[in-house]
Amino acid sequence: MQLKSLHNFFKNGLIGYYPKEEIDAFFYRICDMHLNLKRIDIALKSDMIVAAQTFEYFEMVIERLLNYEPIQYILGSTFFFGSDFIVDKQVLIPRPETEELISWILDQVDTNQPIKILDVGTGSGCIAISLAKQLPRAEVYAMDVSSGALSIAKQNAEANGVVVQFIEASVLEWENQDLLFDVIVSNPPYVRESEKEMMSPNVLNHEPRLALFVENNNPLLFYKAILEMSKKNLTIEGLIFFEINEYLAEETKSLFLSTFFEGVQLKADIFSKKRMLCAKKR
C-alpha cells in the first residue's frame, strides 16, 4: 500500500467520529513518531510503499481511536512545555492550561535565587520536571499517592535530565515537620461527580478517576488539605499556586482569603475561564 492510500484508509476509518482536521493531525503525529516522517515528507513521498506491519499498526490505532482512547495514550507520549513526556492510563494527560500555570509561576519567582518547590499530585511529573528544567537552582519535590504515576514521573525526570525528589504519599495524610518549601503548586482532583455529564468520553472513560474526581459535598477537599499543609511546610512569603475548577473559582478564592494568605489572585486561561489561583503566605 502507498502512503497516500494509507492516509485515505485512516481518514475513512475515523470519519464521523472525529473532525477532519483532527483526523489529519492524528495521522501526521503517528507518521512523525512511527515512521519518522514530517508533514512535508508525507506530501513529497506520497507514493512510498509502506510495510504490512505499518498497515497493521494503523489498523490498531484506528480501532483504539474508535473507542475514544486518547491519542497520547496510544502513542505513549505527549509534548508539554517544550519537552516530551511519557504518559499512560496511570496519569492524566498534561493540558495547555497547565503550561499557563507553569508560565505564571516562572513570572512570579526569582529565577536567580535557590528555592525549594513541592508539586502535590504530580502525576506524569510534568509540572515538577518543567520547573526543574527552567529553574536549575531550584530543589524540586513531587508527591503522589499513586505508585504507578510516580513510576512514570521518575522515567520522565530521567528522560528530561533533571533531578526531582519523589514522595509517595497522600496529601490528605502526609505530615513532615522538617521540609519547608518556598513554592507549593498543585493540579489536584477538582471535578465534581455531578460534572461527569459535561466530559468527553476520551477523558471520562480512559483517564484516571483518582486524579479527576471529588465528591459533590466536599469539592475543595484537596485545597483544604494543601492549605493545612502550608501552615507547616510553606515559608513566610512563600507562594502557593493551583489549577482550579472554573465553576468554584470564587469559593476557592474565599478559602484562602479567610486564612493566613494575602494577595490572593485568580487568573483566567486563554479561554477566559478562571482556572488558576495564586496566594502569598503572610
Strands 213-214 and 191-192, how do they pair? parallel
Per-residue pLDDT averaged across 7-35, rounded?
Answer: 96
Q: Which residues contact 102 (CB under 8 A, 6 or more apart)?
A: 81, 127, 130, 131, 134
Q: How many residues does the chain have?
A: 282
Give CA–CA dist 226/165, Å, rounded.
18
- 265: part of which helix (H) or strand (E)? strand 261-268
Amino acid at 227: L
Q: Confidence class of residue 258 from pLDDT cuts 50, 70 and 90?
A: confident
pLDDT tens digits, residue range 111-144?
888 999 999 999 999 999 999 999 999 999 999 9
| Helix axes 3-14 and 20-30, enclosed angle (nearest 10) | 140
Are the beta carbons of 227 and 241 closer than 8 angstroms? Answer: no
Q: Cite the beta strand spans of 130-200 per DSSP E.
A: 139-144, 165-168, 181-186, 191-192
Predicted model pTM:
0.93
Per-residue pLDDT averaged across 97-113, rounded?
Answer: 94
Q: Which residues contact 262 (CB under 8 A, 6 or more apart)?
A: 279, 280, 281, 282
pLDDT tens digits, residue range 186-245?
999 999 999 988 888 889 889 999 899 999 999 999 999 999 999 999 999 999 999 999
